[in-house]
Amino acid sequence: MKKLVAGIVLVNLLAACASEKPKESAAAASAPPPAATAPAPQAAPAPVVMVDPLNDPASILAKRSVYFPFDVSAVQEDDKPVVLAHAKYLSEHPDRKVRVEGNCDERGSNEYNLGLGQRRADSVKQMLVLGGAKASQIETVSYGEEKPVCTEHNEACWKQNRRSDIKYQ
């Protein structure tokens, strides 16, 4: 059972990687490709109600990452609106699931950072739940310092790595 779940998560992960940019995510991808023969650019615009705010680059939901100070795992004031917006979205879309991935800079041991990254993921999860999401909609995972987006030894780099990513499945 567990293996099956892991397999599904992996597949989803790959899908998520392929659609990193918000505007390219699930709903957009599932829209039928424009037929080569169909000109009709002046057709009526799609009704607003059909737009998933998750796919709107102007929406606060386009922000999927929250950042942390060194050795801190509490969500910072600046990022609370982002997390709470995702909480609201999840509460309104009970069929949607997210995976929250915690990351750290390299200033700690690999194992300590794995624990810290888990805390960073868990603190985002807690705020999502406080904001109305169900715990069952949220999976948390830590990559510690193992998957840095930036590998130089300086604060400009470290601050990018001290991060939790909210990834829709």
Partner 1 sequence: MALRVMRGMVGLLLLAQVSVANAVLSIEIIGAGEHQIPVAIVPFGGDSKLAQAINDVVVGDLQRSGLFRLVDPTGKSPHELAEVSYPDWQVRGADALAIGKVGLLNNGRIEASFRLLDVVKQAQLVGQSVSANDDQVRAVGHRISDLIYEKLTGDKGVFSTRIAYVNRLEKKHYSLIVADSDGYNEQNVLEQSEPIMSPAWSPDGSHLAYVSFETGHAVVYVQSLYTRQRMMLADFSGSNSAPAWSPDGKQLAIVLTRDGSSQIYLIQPDGGGLRRITFSGAIDTEPNFSPDGQSLLFTSDRGGSPQIYSMPVAGGPEQRMTFGDGNNFSPRYNPDGKGFVFTHFVNGKFQIATQDFQTGQVGILTAGGWEKNPSFAPNGKLILFASEARDRGILATVSSDGRVQQHMFTQSGDAREPVWGPHQ
Q: Which residues bind partner 1 (CB under 8 A)?
A: 2-3, 6-7, 9-10, 13, 71, 107-112, 114-119, 122, 139-144, 146-148, 153
H helices of 93-167, in order, are 110-130, 155-161
Give the span between the Cα atoms of 113 and 105, in whole angstroms.
8
Give the span between the Cα atoms of 26 and 109, in whole angstroms.
37
Nearer to partner 1, 64 or 119 (CB): 119
- Of 96, 84, 94, which Cα lies nearest the Cα of 55? 96
Nearer to partner 1, 56 or 146 (CB): 146
Nearer to partner 1, 137 or 142 (CB): 142
Q: What is the biggest distance separating any 2 CA atoms in the chain, rounded to whole angstroms?
A: 59
